[in-house]
């Protein structure tokens, strides 16, 4: 917060430089609103197998930061995009800044390291194993059941994930160094937590209306279910050592209670930060940056409304026409409809959840009503495609 001078006027905040790992326009804008000068290092996180994917090496991250801060360190370092967590932690360690330590960042970066830490902490999760050169499809099916989920240990947004429903599919994707999991049957959701000093200071539950496509914030959970989910979230944060910043944790609600999926110690994608802003009437980006700078921002006690998004992607092909966006916007509860596609555009298949071509935002007084508004709106938006 800005301090006041003796005349009662706010003294200008010193224009400190902060380092953002990853390029998120909303984070840059929030830093400027707070009176800080943002410096951005992009980690090229979308290329999972590239040399600098997910922050690259510790040496690369530190050298990149030293180019911008050769004489004095930044005020703070914030991981704001996919693949930025390890790089941000390495830079903090190099400059002696507070925040998520490098060891903890690695637990939230590599799914195999994460699973080992979760099991060591006694936290319920799907059965799993690490594949090696001698692993066969038959033994994975015998051990984990069907379907078998194969994941690259370092990936995000649904990339590098194969849900295999047959022995042939398992064999086709199987190779050494993958995380193989049993399929968890239950309702998928997520939990967004803001942490300060080892304590959760704000938490949101997100309903996955349609996984990878549509979300509503906050989810409406029974009191007992919410308590179970919150307790699991606390165990995960304590077990992995996530004491500060923001996290995005995926959870499956099964008959025997919530089961841990995975966690990322960074802001979520899928417009969840924007949905939290709309639902709770606060700026989650500003709150995150203040937490990373060691401040303790105020958070809202409850949501004012429910906010939802439905992502638009027509599948591969050539766009012939985009129809119904104006009609969708006239529906009560729809607050924004956006689609970047134009006739003649060539579209490739949607590999990850972040590769969408538009979105619909809606608001309502209940999660169910918000979801229904989104369903009605997305039915009206039609992207006519030609194959090839």
Per-residue pLDDT reduced to its tens digit, 111-156 = 899 999 999 999 989 889 999 999 999 999 999 999 999 998 877 6
Quote the CA–CA distance of 103 and 43 in Å, as a whole number: 19
- In the chain, which residues have pLDDT < 50? 1-13, 45-55
Dihedral sign for Cα atoms in the order 188, 369, 193, 255: negative
**Residue 6: per-residue pLDDT:** 38
**Residue 243: per-residue pLDDT:** 96
CA angle 363, 365, 371 (to 5 degrees): 55
**Residue 184: per-residue pLDDT:** 84
**Residue 55: per-residue pLDDT:** 46
**Residue 44: per-residue pLDDT:** 62
Quote the CA–CA distance of 225 and 207 in Å, as a whole number: 13
Direct distance between the N- and C-terminal alpha carbons of the chain, in angstroms, rounded to an integer: 55
**Residue 152: per-residue pLDDT:** 85
Quote the CA–CA distance of 387 and 346 in Å, as a whole number: 10
**Nearest alpha-carbon partner for 109 in 184, 59, 179, 187:** 179
**Residue 204: per-residue pLDDT:** 98
For residue 147, whether the previous peptide bond is cis, meaning omega lies within 30 degrees of 0, is yes
**Residue 157: per-residue pLDDT:** 62
Quote the CA–CA distance of 84 and 22 in Å, as a whole number: 6
């Amino acid at each position: 917060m800005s301090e006041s001078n003796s005349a009662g006027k706010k003294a200008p905040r010193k224009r400190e430089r902060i380092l953002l790992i990853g390029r998120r326009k909303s984070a840059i804008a929030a830093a400027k609103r707070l009176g800080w000068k943002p410096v951005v290092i992009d980690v090229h996180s979308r290329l999972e197998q590239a040399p600098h994917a997910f922050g690259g090496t510790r040496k690369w991250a530190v050298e990149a930061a030293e180019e911008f801060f050769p004489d004095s360190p930044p005020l703070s370092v914030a991981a704001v995009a996919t693949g930025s967590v390890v790089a941000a932690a390495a830079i903090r360690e190099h400059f002696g800044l507070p925040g998520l330590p490098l060891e903890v960042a690695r637990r939230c970066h590599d799914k195999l390291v994460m699973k080992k830490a979760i099991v060591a902490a006694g936290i319920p999760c799907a059965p799993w194993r690490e594949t090696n050169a001698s692993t066969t499809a038959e033994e994975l099916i015998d051990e984990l059941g069907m379907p078998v989920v194969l994941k690259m240990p370092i990936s995000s947004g649904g990339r590098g994930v194969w849900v295999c429903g047959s022995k042939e599919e398992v064999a086709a994707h199987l190779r050494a160094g993958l995380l193989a999991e049993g399929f968890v049957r239950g309702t998928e959701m997520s939990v967004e937590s803001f942490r300060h000093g080892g304590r959760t200071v704000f938490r949101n539950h997100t309903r996955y209306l349609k996984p990878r496509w549509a979300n509503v914030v906050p989810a409406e959970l029974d009191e007992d279910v919410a308590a179970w989910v919150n307790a699991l979230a606390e165990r995960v944060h304590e077990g992995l050592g996530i004491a500060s910043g923001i996290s995005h944790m995926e959870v499956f609600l099964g008959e025997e209670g919530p089961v841990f999926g995975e966690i990322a110690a960074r802001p979520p994608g899928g417009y969840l930060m924007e949905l939290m802003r709309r639902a709770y009437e606060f700026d989650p980006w500003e709150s995150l940056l203040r937490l990373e700078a060691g401040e303790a921002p105020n958070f809202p006690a409850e949501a004012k409304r429910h906010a939802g998004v439905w992502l638009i992607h027509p599948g591969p092909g050539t766009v012939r026409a985009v129809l119904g966006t104006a009609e969708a916007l006239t529906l009560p509860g729809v607050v924004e409809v956006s689609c970047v596609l134009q006739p003649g555009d060539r579209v490739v298949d949607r590999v990850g959840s972040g590769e969408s071509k538009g979105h619909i935002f809606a608001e309502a007084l209940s999660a169910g009503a918000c979801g229904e508004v989104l369903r009605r709106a997305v039915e009206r938006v039609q992207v006519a495609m030609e194959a090839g």
